[in-house]
Amino acid sequence: MKKIKLNNGTEIPAIGFGVFLIPDDGTCEKAVSDALDVGYRFIDTAAAYMNESGVGKAISKSGLNRDEIYVTSKLWLQDYGYDAAKKGIETSLKNLNLDYIDLYLLHQPYFDTAGAWKALEEAVLDGKIRSIGLSNHTVGFLDKLIQQMKILPVVNQMECNPLFQQKDLRKYLSKYDIKLQAWYPLGHGNKELFENPVLNNIASKYSKTVSQIILRWHIEEGIIPIPKSTSMAHIKENFDIFDFSLDKDDMTKIRSIDTGKGSHNPDDLSFGETLLKAYKIHD
């Protein structure tokens, strides 16, 4: 598995397996087990996904050594602020049934992110978390929070795909050697993305699927994609992207289809309250 070096000297697999919206009724455990069987070694979950326990069960039953699997989870808004975040970290560790988490993120950029980040920094010093990062933080949120950090984030996980390439954000992140991770790397099945003629022509050229071309584009750009699926066929398909490379001309063509528009705008501050009401993970 190809790995990428992060700004704290640790390494992360170049592709992850996401479990957003996969229910914790055995479905998540099976999907993660299938992904590990295929060869994935990076699993991405979150407290708000309500399936950390399923991820933990799959890891425990995998037969793999703990240091072979890279686990990411995320602190939810309900647990922001210093004291609440410390409890949230402990809850994630308990749910995952792990002694440490490889990477822990602030899931959203709203409310007391500074207090929550301080708790994450302390968890790194205590050995409970190996690396810390952010999710859904645009340049404005980053620029404000980064001034209060003692430990820099290693990643920022954002919506990113060939139609929304996050070019300005990537320039900002490069100043700090913060890697971009991509949620919705396949556009959540976006018809506009999968029927794009540029991507379809390139897929035909390499005898690959459009999904594989999209994910390979992320790899070539140094972006870490986190595709999700519960279908074994698609799990295998999404992982089978390391036996080819896109040439410079094809990379240029894909860069040209960027619309600069995503599915939502994190800079809308009212979105924080909306999310807090939509995802209540505990009383």
Helix (H, G, I), strand (E, B) or coil at 17: strand
- DSSP secondary structure string, 162-208? TTB--HHHHHHHHTTTPEEEEESTTGGG-HHHHT-HHHHHHHHHHT-
82 is catalytic: no
Query: Which residues have CB under 8 Å from 82's CB, separation 6+?
Result: 112, 115, 116, 118, 119
160 φ, ψ (degrees, to nearest 5): -160, 130
Separation between Cα atoms, residue 167 and residue 158, nearest integer Å: 12
Separation between Cα atoms, residue 230 and residue 194, nearest integer Å: 19
Q: Which amino acid is at 115?
A: G
Separation between Cα atoms, residue 69 and residue 13, nearest integer Å: 9
Catalytic residue, chosen from 49, 70, 104, 184, is 49
CB 74 within 8 A of CB 101: no
- Which residues are known catalytic residues? 49
